[in-house]
Structure 1
Amino acid sequence: MDALEAMATFVRVVERGSFSAVARELGVTQPTISKQIGLLEKRLGGRLFARSTRQLFLTDEGQRYYEHCRQILNAVDSAEQSFKTGQEQVAGTLRIASSGSFGRVQIAPRLHGFLQRCPDVTIDLQLSDENVDIVSEGIDVAIRIGELKDSSLIARQIGLTRRGVFVAPAYLEQHGLPLIPADLAAHNCLVFSQLAQFDQWRFARDGQWQAVQVKGNVRSNNSESIRQLVLSGAGLSLSPSWLFREDLQAGRVKAVLEDYATATLPIHAVFAPDRRQSARVRAFVEYLGEGFAQDADIANTR
């Protein structure tokens, strides 16, 4: 087994999380993959994995080696495609990370169109409301909403999330309609805990901003859970407009306090600083930006 083949096998084991999964992909036995990794470790002079009965864990050395392997394999792939076509081909696996709800509503529906434009790309879409470590997880591009906390990452703003206060008709029938932001103090406000100052909702009218301290009996780090609670009549939520768009159209929720503006949240495409932006990454970000520009709820204009 040559060095590049060994690297490719190692990377697939890391990304699939097991020797047996990679063995099935390659049509070989699990002991064959184990032997290949063992030979690679012998050549390197150290352990790549800390093995347990249920899961594989990378050692610190293995993590560093994994990052180098991904960069080398991407470079080899690009060089080969460039030689064949005269330019870098938009091809290969694209690993994308996003929050669960935004991925479901705004990214997944757009993937078919992107794949029609770039048929040689395959997608690995990872959805989680926790911000994953894009370096250790091998993510090519992450789509994140809100102000970025990690200044070491490279980011490109591709949209803005507009928000509103949404509530089910059943809740309004029982508790009444808030007419001004201060009325929210008497209501059950369901909050998304992933945002900074999640229990302060900010509103503006005639250019004057005010912050309202809200309280309620549920907070969650998952926006889809907040949506389901609102639909059930549990309370009100300051949420992205795109999250409730279909519910608004169907009459399952109403928007309140529409005379007041709320703060928008930037949408960024985020990359690791030491990870080369391949043609497929650039093509995907451009495609998303084009699509977002046509959507009033997330267009990159105020």
Structure 2
Amino acid sequence: MDRFEALNTFVEIAEHGSFAGAARALGQSPAKMTRTIAALEAHLGVTLFHRSTRTVALSHEGAALLERARGLLADLREAEHLVMGRGGAPQGELRVTAPVLFGRMHVLPVVAGLLASHAGLSARMLLLNRNVRIVEEGIDVAVRIGELTDSTLMRVQLGAVRQVIVASPGYLDQRGMPKQPADLARHDCIDGSSIRPDNVWRFGQDKALKVEVQPRLVINDIAARIAAAEAGAGVVNVLSYQVAGALRAGRLVSLLDDQAPPALPVQLLYHSSRAAMPAVRAFIEAMRERASRDSWRANRW
């Protein structure tokens, strides 16, 4: 049994919450995953997962192993990167995380371009609308939107995106155009289930003006919130890149632009141990080029 392969399989299953999902991520069959975990459990003499017909849950011993396994795999990857970093061409596996929609629109094309240019390079993208632990989860570069508090990581600012309030022309014809932020209290608002738990939308350069809205429609998916706004369901508070196409096409109208809060920075985060990796350097430069070409480096979004 290859212990590192077994630990990698174990971590993938724990993170996906299923054997099938981990098998798809690793390009293996569920049967092979089952055999690998069975061999690991036999070697350790413990049960790592409690299995049922519908769910896979970590056992107490599995939960204790998970963090250690992540650390071991991260150390192995760091050692590989140290050796690979001695060469000039990007190679090995590049691991990137980004917000879902931004990742699809702006990170995936960059990664695809790097793969097309460098035969020895592979990539794994983790698109999530939450922050992951970069070091612990073996991430090489994270794309983050918003203010950052972690000062232990290296960062590169690419540009910024604006927060915008939008609604469809049809909705505005029926309900009227809000003239000031306080007017939103009388409008149908669309919001997410967790992004603003206090239902407060902030305005002005110093974010001092606060408006408490009572969402009439709550959807946890940003694409669905935008689709609802386009369909005339109400007013939605989003980031500029998320609705750039709809604004250009006239499906949505931007509101209260003169009182919008400051733009949110778009930044790349990475640990200092990854700084010398050719793949990381190539990714950063490619993202800088895309930011400049698409104008969000100039903060015009």
Q: Report the AA paired with residue 55 of structure 1.
A: V
Equivalent in the alignment of 1:251: 250
Runs of 4+ aligned structure 1 residues displaced above 6 Å come to none
Note the 1:1-302 alignment, pairs <5 A. 5-15=2-12, 18=19, 21=23, 25=28, 33-34=36-37, 37=40, 41-42=43-44, 50-53=48-51, 54-55=55-56, 57=58, 58-76=62-80, 78-79=82-83, 81=84, 87-150=87-150, 153-192=153-192, 193-194=194-195, 199-204=200-205, 211-215=209-213, 216-271=215-270, 276-277=274-275, 278-296=277-295, 298-299=296-297, 301=299
Residues 185 and 213 in structure 1, CA contact (< 8 A), matched pair in contact too: yes
Residues 189 and 214 in structure 1, CA contact (< 8 A), matched pair in contact too: no
Secondary structure at the aligned position of 1:244 is classed as: helix
Residues 11 and 70 in structure 1, CA contact (< 8 A), matched pair in contact too: no
The 1:144–1:15 alpha-carbon spacing in structure 2 relative to 1, beyond 3 Å, is same
CA offsets 1:5-63 (integer angstroms, 9 cap, x no match)? 5324422442355499399749x956763475357x45xxx76x722225363432442
Structure 2 portions without partners, runs of 5+: none
Q: How far apart, CA to CA, are the structure 1 residues paired with 2:150 and 2:219?
A: 22
Q: Report the AA paired with residue 75 of structure 1.
A: A
Q: Report the AA paired with residue 146 of structure 2.
A: G
The 1:280–1:8 alpha-carbon spacing in structure 2 relative to 1, beyond 3 Å, is farther
What is the alpha-carbon root mean square deviation over aligned residues?
3.5
More off after superposition, 70-79 vs 92-101: 70-79
Identity of aligned residues (%): 26
The 1:12–1:121 alpha-carbon spacing in structure 2 relative to 1, beyond 3 Å, is farther
The 1:196–1:286 alpha-carbon spacing in structure 2 relative to 1, beyond 3 Å, is farther
Secondary structure at the aligned position of 1:262 is classed as: coil
**Structure 1 residue 156, shift from structure 2 partner:** 3.3
Structure 1 portions without partners, runs of 5+: none
The 1:183–1:66 alpha-carbon spacing in structure 2 relative to 1, beyond 3 Å, is closer
Residues 201 and 238 in structure 1, CA contact (< 8 A), matched pair in contact too: no
Q: How far apart, CA to CA, are the structure 1 residues paired with 2:251 and 2:287?
A: 29
